[in-house]
Structure 1
Amino acid sequence: MKHLVFLLLLSSVCFFALSKVVDNFKECEEFFLDDKPPVFTPPAGVSVKPICQCLQDNNDKQIYLYATLYSTTWKIPVYSAYVFRKSKSIGRCDTWYIEPQLEDSRDSGDSEQCMGPQGSAVKTSSNQALNSDYKDSNNYHKGHLYPVLHTDNHLSMLATSTLTNAAPQDSDFNTNEWLEHERVVINNLQSCDKAYVVTGVVPDMQAPKLNNRVYVSKYYWRATCCLKNNQYTGQGYYGLDNNNQVKKLTIKDLQDFLKNVYQITFFPSVPTSNTEAKKPRIDKACN
């Protein structure tokens, strides 16, 4: 059977939405500093799946746009990683996709690994969130990890609207302080020669799940690493999902803060202090 596609018309340009659930990030390692993804140790009993998020355009060219580590246990992403490019004013289209490959019941005849539109391939799910989980939820938005605001073209914008790149986010926090934070990050990274970003979610283990299935967010966090004038500098951020405040801290302090939930090293190829960076070519100090 021909792979499932969804034709989306935007500004007279047609694209087919795709992604790949993979064994590792080898096909999309370009979105990590030095091609090395964060070192993540999930808590006991928590399953995760790497996803290379991509689009196939109307010329059948497959283009990778970012990477996501998705928890089929929590039914939210652990993180999405992307290369920040100078943002432009991009129109938004909220057509949300789901990931048929995450379901054991997917059509075994599908040779392509494709992202699908809501209501087509997957009507029920044991491994991922669906639009129906957000129905009648006034308190939570689908919070992008790779946000539309950080995209620089229509392809990237379209690819961000997949539920594997979103988690339930407090509506006020999403539209106020976290949105302002995303704008601050743009200002901080616009002058970088190159910048890598990892954005993630800490699930709230105590709060009621959305539709009794999907873990809601306790914290949103972001780690950035900017190359400028042959120097790497890093910055960490996190915000409690319901208090409209985003805190700024070092990468090391952010990693230490997250240890209460899980172990993660954002930029494993770089030291966390200037004194550890001995390479004369580049002082790799994302601290």
Structure 2
Amino acid sequence: MWNMWTSFALVATCYLSLVAGDVVTKFQDVAECQEFFHQGKIPDLGQERPGVVHICQRFLNQYHFATLYDTHNRIAVYSAYIFEPSNGGGREKRWFVEPQLVDPSWHGEMRDGYWLGQDNPGIYLGEKQALNEDYTHSGFDRGHLNPNGHHAVPGRNSTFTLTNVIPQNPKLNQNSWANHESKLTQRFQQCSQAYVLVGAIPSANNWIVKNNVKRVNIPEYIWNAYCCVNSDGQPVFSGGATALNTEQNVVVERTLDEMVEFFQQYSDSPVGELFAAQCTM
């Protein structure tokens, strides 16, 4: 029977067919994806790197965050998300990959890397992205950029995509950086919304090597930056942090202007604002 729900389903199907999928030319191509950035401001960070792709991270047919991904180094430049108070739920046991980095014609939603490989025998999934086996016995954690603890289910589950992780020193990942993420959880309780960027600075030549092949760049630094706004959208506070990806296990907190200065050391072009008006009134 034709009814309002049939009409809604057809409209939803048509809408999704218009979306190119998770891998897009630019984040502005998908309105729901651009919303993860403060006032829609996309930072210039890493845009000039060869081989970067824009991923609107989709899980259970919903967008949860955005990732600028470096297919050469096989780590993210950054992930952008809006903080959500956790509603509990355990850690995801699967590790997802991006099907469209294997074949642009494949479905855009992240998939369990193991089962995607089982369903496509003979097709190598890791040409443009890291795989779970790259991290096995590497001595490095699969370090979340966008942390699962900053989301409610199902957004929490979506952070377990390998396009959102880096080889992170275990001591840093499990101690100072984890403590920093927990501290931000408390700070963000004051925000109506908290917009966050979190990424990595690749090393010059330090890699996870498998079978004599450089597979995943081991970053020199991990970093984040954030903009907290009230219910009127007005900035309340902002900041950022950097940490050497070593057993030094130290997180250095910085202002947004100091973050721009930090990034400028690694960029040949002007870095510019990380958030609209640098999260000021």
What's the TM-score bracket when you normalise by the shorter of the two chains?
0.7 to 0.9
TM-score of the superposed pair, with normalisation by structure 1? 0.79
Instruction: Measure, in 2, the Cα distance between the counterparts of 1:115 and 1:41.
Output: 23
Instruction: Measure, in 1, the Cα distance between the counterparts of 2:136 and 2:46.
Output: 32
1:225 equivalent in structure 2? 227
Runs of 4+ in 1 over 6 A off after TM superposition: none
- Please tell me the residue identity of whatever aligns with 2:185: I
Residues 208 and 107 (structure 1), Cα distance of their counterparts in 2 relative to 1, 3 Å cut:
closer
Instruction: Measure, in 1, the Cα distance between the counterparts of 2:124 and 2:89.
Output: 31
Specify the SS of the correspondent of 1:238: strand
Give the paired residue count: 244
1:116 equivalent in structure 2? 111
Deviates more, 1:116-125 or 1:126-135: 116-125
Residues 266 and 140 (structure 1), Cα distance of their counterparts in 2 relative to 1, 3 Å cut:
farther
1:177 equivalent in structure 2? 176
**Which residues of structure 2 form unaligned runs of 5+?**
1-20
1:40-119 matches, within 5 Å, as 40-42=45-47, 46-56=50-60, 62-103=61-102, 106=103, 108=105, 110=106, 112-119=107-114
Instruction: Measure, in 1, the Cα distance between the counterparts of 2:79 and 2:175.
Output: 21
Residues 124 and 235 (structure 1), Cα distance of their counterparts in 2 relative to 1, 3 Å cut:
same
1:260 equivalent in structure 2? 265
Residues 257 and 50 (structure 1), Cα distance of their counterparts in 2 relative to 1, 3 Å cut:
same
Aligned partners of 1:76 and 1:166 also within 8 Å: yes
User: CA offsets, 1:38-69, max 9 Å, x none?
Assistant: 1224455x32000001122xxxxx21111000
Instruction: Measure, in 2, the Cα distance between the counterparts of 1:203 and 1:147.
Output: 19
Instruction: Measure, in 1, the Cα distance between the counterparts of 2:215 and 2:156.
Output: 27
Specify the SS of the correspondent of 2:35: helix
1:10 equivalent in structure 2? none
2:242 equivalent in structure 1? 238
The two structures, once aligned, show a CA RMSD in angstroms of 2.0
Instruction: Measure, in 1, the Cα distance between the counterparts of 2:147 and 2:172.
Output: 14
2:4 equivalent in structure 1? none
Query: What's the CA shift for 1:228?
Result: 3.1
- Please tell me the residue identity of whatever aligns with 1:191: Q
1:25 equivalent in structure 2? 27
- Percentage identity across paired residues of the two chains: 33
Kindly indicate whether residue 164 of structure 2 is the aligned counterpart of residue 165 of structure 1: yes
Residues 29 and 126 (structure 1), Cα distance of their counterparts in 2 relative to 1, 3 Å cut:
same
2:146 equivalent in structure 1? 146
Instruction: Measure, in 2, the Cα distance between the counterparts of 1:244 and 1:198.
Output: 21
Kindly indicate whether residue 255 of structure 2 is the aligned counterpart of residue 250 of structure 1: yes
Instruction: Measure, in 2, the Cα distance between the counterparts of 1:266 and 1:221.
Output: 16
Instruction: Measure, in 2, the Cα distance between the counterparts of 1:93 and 1:156.
Output: 11
Specify the SS of the correspondent of 1:213: strand
1:215 equivalent in structure 2? 217
Aligned partners of 1:168 and 1:216 also within 8 Å: yes
Aligned partners of 1:21 and 1:49 also within 8 Å: yes
- Please tell me the residue identity of whatever aligns with 1:90: G
Aligned partners of 2:84 and 2:150 also within 8 Å: yes
Residues 219 and 131 (structure 1), Cα distance of their counterparts in 2 relative to 1, 3 Å cut:
same
TM-score of the superposed pair, with normalisation by structure 2? 0.80
